[in-house]
Structure 1
């Protein structure tokens, strides 16, 4: 049997303890068949040879918590990240420009503003947005996706009064001085607005475009954390497309929250269980929202936010209701993933999972708590004893860590995303970005795990820093484990898929400060090249 492809003259980090490094790798039918001298035996007249010219190779990266279709849809909306719109005036200018392009009455949608990064350190008000687009409803999501700002036309278009009642788990923010609506809406209050949705074809086209961004970042497998009916249709149809190669893991949106319709009842009625699907597309379990975000001051923390009165965030539901849902899901052989950032939310999530099973059965299920930002020592002990995965959004530290410092204060911010403690307790903690909440590039997360530095240059929780090898493991081996994928991806091992990336710099050999600058030169999925950096087009192939 001859190999289809042999990569040679490489610095290969397999992330497999049985053979940590290699210089040569042979691929047959999309899977790895041999390393080094044994790979030579697979060379034949039809074997393609690829000289890697000493560059570093890693397994394809696994993004363990993201919203790919949400990211894709955002490509069609106003880009309000601070790099694009650094001031309130620039946001308003973008809204005015879009209003000139759209017919009156059509929605102006945007995503990515972050008050902690704006020059004015505040959000655009209802008055400002109403003046910028008096005849168009405006709905602009904060980078955390837990808050948005709207204008008066948005209230009118959605049939809401300007004195609305807060829904459960949501809040219409009011100006403290005037008592009038400020334009900021939080959590479930966003569900009150009648935002138009994209068509299936529009979502498919946007996802095909977004896929290339994932490949450019070295991502070959992604966990989609908010799957409803529309997303299910899109991904099933994309799997039939020859040019869609991304491996996708689906977490089904359980309860109607944040403006998204839950599908828990339908899933249970159909008898769907975790693992349904194939190696390219499968169902992981049910996803539940429990609290908000630190940046939006809605995560359910134990002590009030800095300079915010008695505000300790928002819980989406009661202990009793959460327990009922989790017990029912687990009884029906579905894994659960619970969004828990603040201490109060993490505690509720742990209690629900513990009520649903024993330490032994929970270990077999590999339930997850998403983000798990402010886990206490007591939480760590419980996570370990029940084998619960801490799906840690370590990418938050780089992208939005400054807002954590501002809103939590230095003392609390020191213990966010405690990766060294996760390791000490033997807790699997796959890294992630929660994109589009944060930058999707995993090397920003790896950099943050090692240096604990924010985009603003501040540091938080240096005692929780981990070595480069552990940081990369969180985006490969541990991330694969979180999806029951350790037999097929996560490391470069014989028999596993040849999902791999070639890098311009060796992350194990460079200064830690340079990790965030590492670029992917080439991405392969099952031995086929899906991305080559343009300027390197002829670098490897001779």
Structure 2
């Protein structure tokens, strides 16, 4: 019998009390059809040596913003491993800014003030970025920091006049000026000028997010919100971007997408 794939030299837990473990597994038509000695006489189009590793079914993530994960991976890496201090963050921003044309946005993601000691500030980012607008998204994706140039791009040239936003928080100094940190819905004060991104950029975000998902064993994902320019998603063309990614063979993850409705 010709199978689609055989995985051998692995460690499988079958959940079958009569055969709790196996070391080889055959697949046909997307289904497991044979284990160990049942593979005798079978050939396969694909044969994978697992090197003695444990093997498990693909995982499902019921709440995973795949496109945003991909977007963050394509931007300046501000994770603790990459920037282990606030000074290192500012240095990374300065290095990225120096490689960009004047006026280009410096976009980064993944910083954690709990690990580096504090949130970045607009004033310090102004010095680091050489006049370029900066937008740095927190590791939680529920807050972000903008510098003065970024606020200005969004129409807020006076930091003491940045408005409060229902459902969000604008962090301010003792004089009432926005310090840079925007939480929850207040992120829209600046983020709105970055949306929608070009279709090809969003498709690339989806493709990068899909590769990252597969690398950690996610084979199916629920994207809890697409289609909104102001808030979740990149805009009404989000679904089209997912379809284009799938048509080009870039997705690789089974998706359940939930349109954002108001």
**Residues 214 and 16 of structure 1: is their aligned pair in 2 closer, same or farther, counting only changes over 3 Å?**
farther
Per-residue deviation, 1:94: 1.9
Pair 1:124-2:123 in alignment: no
Aligned to 2:256: 249
Q: Is contact 2:162-2:178 (8 Å) kept?
A: no
Distance 1:62 1:142 in 2: 24
Pair 1:171-2:178 in alignment: no
Q: Is contact 2:3-2:43 (8 Å) kept?
A: no
Distance 1:199 1:126 in 2: 27
**Residues 167 and 19 of structure 1: is their aligned pair in 2 closer, same or farther, counting only changes over 3 Å?**
farther
**Residues 45 and 170 of structure 1: is their aligned pair in 2 closer, same or farther, counting only changes over 3 Å?**
closer
Per-residue deviation, residues 183-222 of structure 1 (Å, max 9, x unmatched): 1111111111122543222222343344333222222222
Unaligned 5+ runs, structure 2: 228-235
Distance 1:243 1:158 in 2: 33
Q: Over aligned residues, Cα RMSD in angstroms?
A: 2.6
Distance 1:112 1:51 in 2: 35
Per-residue deviation, residues 337-391 of structure 1 (Å, max 9, x unmatched): xxxxxxxxxxxxxxxxxxxxxxxxxxxxxxxxxxxxxxxxxxxxxxxxxxxxxxx
Per-residue deviation, residues 49-87 of structure 1 (Å, max 9, x unmatched): 555454322111222322111111123321111111122
Per-residue deviation, residues 457-510 of structure 1 (Å, max 9, x unmatched): xxxxxxxxxxxxxxxxxxxxxxxxxxxxxxxxxxxxxxxxxxxxxxxxxxxxxx
Aligned to 2:133: 137
Distance 1:179 1:56 in 2: 56
The TM-score normalised by the length of structure 1 is: 0.42
Distance 1:214 1:199 in 2: 23
Unaligned 5+ runs, structure 1: 255-263, 266-542
Distance 1:153 1:39 in 2: 64
Distance 2:178 2:250 in 1: 47
Q: Is contact 1:10-1:54 (8 Å) kept?
A: yes
Distance 1:25 1:95 in 2: 49
1:234-273 → structure 2 map (5 Å cutoff): 234-242=241-249, 244-252=251-259, 254=260, 264=261
Instruction: Give the secondary-structure state (helix, strand or coil) at the position aligned to 1:136.
Output: coil
Distance 2:43 2:176 in 1: 78
Aligned to 1:398: none
- What is the count of residue pairs matched by the alignment? 250
**Residues 132 and 49 of structure 1: is their aligned pair in 2 closer, same or farther, counting only changes over 3 Å?**
closer
Q: Is contact 1:14-1:58 (8 Å) kept?
A: no
Instruction: Give the secondary-structure state (helix, strand or coil) at the position aligned to 2:176.
Output: coil
Q: Is contact 1:126-1:152 (8 Å) kept?
A: yes
Q: Is contact 1:81-1:112 (8 Å) kept?
A: yes
Structure showing the higher strand proportion among its residues: 2
Pair 1:146-2:142 in alignment: yes
**Residues 179 and 58 of structure 1: is their aligned pair in 2 closer, same or farther, counting only changes over 3 Å?**
same
Per-residue deviation, residues 378-413 of structure 1 (Å, max 9, x unmatched): xxxxxxxxxxxxxxxxxxxxxxxxxxxxxxxxxxxx
1:184-223 → structure 2 map (5 Å cutoff): 184-193=181-190, 194-223=193-222
Q: Is contact 1:126-1:149 (8 Å) kept?
A: yes
Aligned to 1:513: none
Pair 1:180-2:177 in alignment: yes
Aligned to 1:55: 53
The TM-score normalised by the length of structure 2 is: 0.83
- Out of 72, 76, 80, the position equivalent to 1:82 is 80
